[in-house]
Structure formats: structure tokens, C-alpha cells
Amino acid sequence: MTTEVVAAGSNNFLLPNFTIVIEFVIFLAVLFVFYRFIVPPLTKAMRERDEMAKQQAENRANAVRRLREAEERYDKALVEARAEASAIRDEARADAQRIREERRSETEREVSEIRRRGEQEIATQRERAVGDLRPDLGALSTQLAGRILGTPMGEGGPQAETVRRFLAGLENRSGGVDAPSAGGRS
């Protein structure tokens, strides 16, 4: 069959009037136009798209890295904040304990001062009472002795001098305080 087509030569629909050559030249012109004017912008657009995709992938990777770094900084700051809060809490407890101890010692000092002043006041009042009763004690003792003995005893007599000496001896023996009252009566 191929031999018939070549031999027929004039019946070939592609070869009459050099149509195939013109079609081939038009095909080459279209290819030239495509490679010259259409393919470069398409290639450029595809490269830009690839670059943009790469850039987005890098940005995403950078964002993930920055997110991890931020999380690490956050965790570190959280640990530091907890440690600082614990230190502040411990310091506050220590301050509270110190203040408690200061208050306790201050209260103990005040109590001991109040106790000391009270004891001084009691001693002063006791001395005043003993001092107030001493002159009367001699006279009362003399009167009581006179009643017991049945004889009157005078104020200026030798018996009054004996009572005074007895009271002075009691005073010296008890350290300036009447012996029965220092014995613990409350």
C-alpha cells in the first residue's frame, strides 16, 4: 500500500501544492511563538509559585521553631516564677516567724516589767503598811500584854522598851519585813 501512495503521487492529499510544508512552517511558527512568548512567563510564574511554596514552608518551619522557643521560654519563665513565688512564700513565713518571736519576746519583756513593777509596788505598800502599823503595834502589844497579865503597862515604862527591842530583833531577823507577813500569806 505504501508503494501505491508514492506511485500515485498526484493523489496524495498532503503533497499537493506543498501544503504539508506550509503546515510544517506554521507549526514551527506556533512552536516558536509558544517557546518565545508563552513558555517563559509560564515558567517564570511556576518558578515564582515554587519559590512562594518554598518560602511558605520555610516560614512555617520558622514559625514552628519560634513557637517551640516561645514555649520553652514560657516553661522556663513559669518555673522561675514558681521558684520565686516559693522563695517569697518562704521569706514571708520567715518574716512572720521572726515577727512572732519579736512580739513574743516583747510581750515577755512587758510581762516581766509589769510583774517587777507589781512586786515593787507590793513591797512598797507592805513597807508602808508595816511602817504605819509599827508604832501602833508596840502600843497594842503593850495593851494586850497588860490585859493578859492583868496589870496596866504604860507607854513610857521599861516594858515598852522591851517590846521595841523585840520588834527590832524581828525586823533584823526577817530582813526588814515582818516575819509572819513574809511567810507566804496571799
Whether 53 has a pLDDT exceeding 50, the answer reads: yes
Q: How far is CA 115 from the centre of its chain?
A: 40
Q: Which one is predicted more confidently, 128 or 63?
A: 63
Q: In the chain, pLDDT over 70 holds for what percent of residues?
A: 76
Looking from the CA of 14 toward its CB, the CA atoms found within 13 Å total: 6
pLDDT tens readout for residues 73-99: 999 999 999 999 999 999 999 999 999
Whether 167 has a pLDDT exceeding 70, the answer reads: yes
* Nearest C-alpha neighbor of 113 from the set 124, 101, 105: 105
Q: Which one is predicted more confidently, 19 or 41?
A: 41
pTM: 0.39
Residue 170 CB contacts under 8 Å (≥ 6 apart), including other chains: 178, 179
Whether 132 has a pLDDT exceeding 70, the answer reads: yes
- pLDDT, residue 75, reads 95
DSSP states along 47-114? HHHHHHHHHHHHHHHHHHHHHHHHHHHHHHHHHHHHHHHHHHHHHHHHHHHHHHHHHHHHHHHHHHHH
Residue 15 CB contacts under 8 Å (≥ 6 apart), including other chains: 9
pLDDT tier, 184 (very low <50, low <70, confident <90, very high otherwise): very low
* Nearest C-alpha neighbor of 170 from the set 125, 136, 122, 137: 137
- Rounded CA-CA distance 53/44 in Å is 14
- pLDDT, residue 67, reads 95
Q: How buried is residue 142: exposed, middle or buried, by Cβ count under 10 Å (0-12/13-18/19+)?
A: buried
